[in-house]
Amino acid sequence: MQMDQRKQKVLSAIIRDYVSTAEPVGSRTIARKYNLGVSPATIRNEMSDLEELGFIEQPYTSAGRIPSDGGYRYFVDCLMEREQLHESQLYVVRETLHDHLEVNMVMQQATDLLSQLTNYTAVVLSPEIGKTTFQQLQLIPLQPNKAVAVVITSAGIIESKILDIPEFLSTADLQKVARFLNKSLMGLSLDKVRMALFRELAEILKKEEQVLSQALEVIDEALKAEGQERVYLGGTLNIFKQPEFKDVEKIQTLLGILQEHHTVRHILNETSKKGLNVKIGLENVHQGFRNCSMITATYQVDGETLGVIGLIGPTRMEYSKAMAAVETLTDQLSHVLRKYFRR
């Protein structure tokens, strides 16, 4: 059976109506609202063919039809007209993201913006801290035998730790260690810092090796604290607005997954590749997302992928609008992050 132009128009009408109303769609509704130029009887025949093709299905409690996962896939791939964000929306995105100095704030703002633009749940996977560069180490005396070490990165991330200082080390010795490290490590990506420290270790006086070792521990602490990509969520409560998730078990399952950040990281890393990716219903590998659609894209600097941005919503999603929002936020994140992660 061929998917001819009339079937395409009927399928498109069913999807548009169901996305708008969340109610099963009948032939009379299509004939009345979409001006296809054919009778309800003809539309019923086309709907029967579409059901046989697997593009629509009949809920148990209704005479109307709803799109299947396959119907949504055909619509996204073959029928959907791509949208762009309005200029006013683009202006808000640019101004909001460019107004922050720290990466953490940029990530959270991007997540919030995406959820606000779409009314779905947004998720952003941040860059690994190892992709940022070392900017400065400060060793600040606190009291006898104590000092605080502060690590500052190009992404504005700060990690601090109290160090035990041997009695024979003076404030001048601490400053010497800090100067040495700052000179040796400035501008290196954090995943190269440890290698550089060991390479340069011989240049430090023996009596200062203990402080150098502790300073290395501080940098390691920074890497442990931020080493994995952070997961930022926005608009989680938007899930409750969707009729599909009135079922308590469904909502508990989905919210439970979103709270497990290691699971979210794994899902995003597994499903994302360069470009815009759309997973619909059963296409999602994770069982808990089988009732959802997920739109993801990677943001990059100088061709290197830094992280993932995405949307989670019902399969009854406004795909064109959602894809436009994800693409815009991806482009703007890539642009803003150049000042932090440019090689």
Complete DSSP assignment for 248-313: HHHHHHHHHHHH-HHHHHHHHHHH--SSEEEEEGGGSSSGGGTTEEEEEEEEEETTEEEEEEEEEE
Residue 98 three-state SS: coil
Please report which confidence band the pLDDT of residue 69 belongs to, taking 50, 70 and 90 as the band edges: very high
Instruction: Locate 342 and state its tokens.
Output: 């440019």
The answer to whether the beta carbons of residues 69 and 12 sit under 8 Å apart is no
> Is 68:74 a contact under the CB 8 Å cutoff?
no
Tokens of 149: 């070490």
Residues 60 and 185: their CA atoms lie apart, in Å, by 65
Q: Report the Cα–Cα distance between both ends of the chain, in Å, rounded.
A: 54
Task: Pick 180 or 53 by higher pLDDT.
Answer: 53
- The kind and range of the H/E element at 121 are strand 121-125
| Helices within 63-142 (DSSP H only) | 69-74, 87-97, 103-118
Q: Which of 80-89, 148-157, 181-190, 257-266 has the highest mean pLDDT?
A: 80-89
Mean pLDDT of 60-73: 91
Three-state secondary-structure class, residue 155: coil
Q: Is the pLDDT higher at 172 or at 312?
A: 312
C-alpha 335/C-alpha 329 separation (Å) is 10
Q: Which domains does the chain have, with CATH numbers?
A: 5-79 (1.10.10.10), 87-127+229-342 (3.30.450.40), 133-225 (3.30.390.60)
Most confident of 113-117, 162-166, 257-261: 113-117
Element (H, E) at 123: strand 121-125
| Mean pLDDT of the chain, nearest integer | 84
- Token match 């104590």: residue? 146
Residue that wins the pLDDT comparison between 212 and 338: 338
Contact between 69 and 28 under an 8 Å Cβ cutoff? The reply is no
Residue in this structure with the two tokens 């128009």, named with its chain if needed: 9
d(CA 156, CA 104): 8
User: pLDDT tens digit string along 306-328?
Assistant: 889 999 999 999 999 999 999 99
Q: Where does the pLDDT of residue 207 fall: very low under 50, low under 70, confident under 90, or very high at 90 and above?
A: very low
The rounded Cα 315 to chain-centroid distance in angstroms is 18
Q: Using the predicted structure, report yes or no on whether residue 77 has a pLDDT greater than 90.
A: yes
| Contact (CB, 8 A) for 104 and 125 | no
Q: Is 168 helix (H, G, I), strand (E, B) or coil?
A: coil
- Within 8 A by CB and 6+ apart from 298, the residues are 272, 273, 274, 275, 305, 306, 307, 308, 309, 330
Span 34-58, average pLDDT: 95
Burial class (CB in 10 A: 0-12, 13-18, 19+), 168: exposed
CA atoms within 13 A on the CB side of 220: 9
The highest-confidence range among 25-39, 203-217, 271-285, by mean pLDDT, is 25-39
Predicted confidence at residue 129, as pLDDT, reads: 58
- pLDDT above 70 for 121: yes
Rounded Cα–Cα distance for residues 129 and 191 (Å)? 8
Of these ranges, 122-131, 165-174, 199-208, 287-296, the one predicted with the greatest mean pLDDT is 287-296
Residue 265 reports pLDDT greater than 90 = no
**pLDDT of 246 above 60:** yes
Provide the pLDDT confidence category of residue 194 given band limits of 50, 70 and 90: low
Separation CA 75–CA 327 (nearest Å): 19
Residue 132 is predicted with a pLDDT of 65
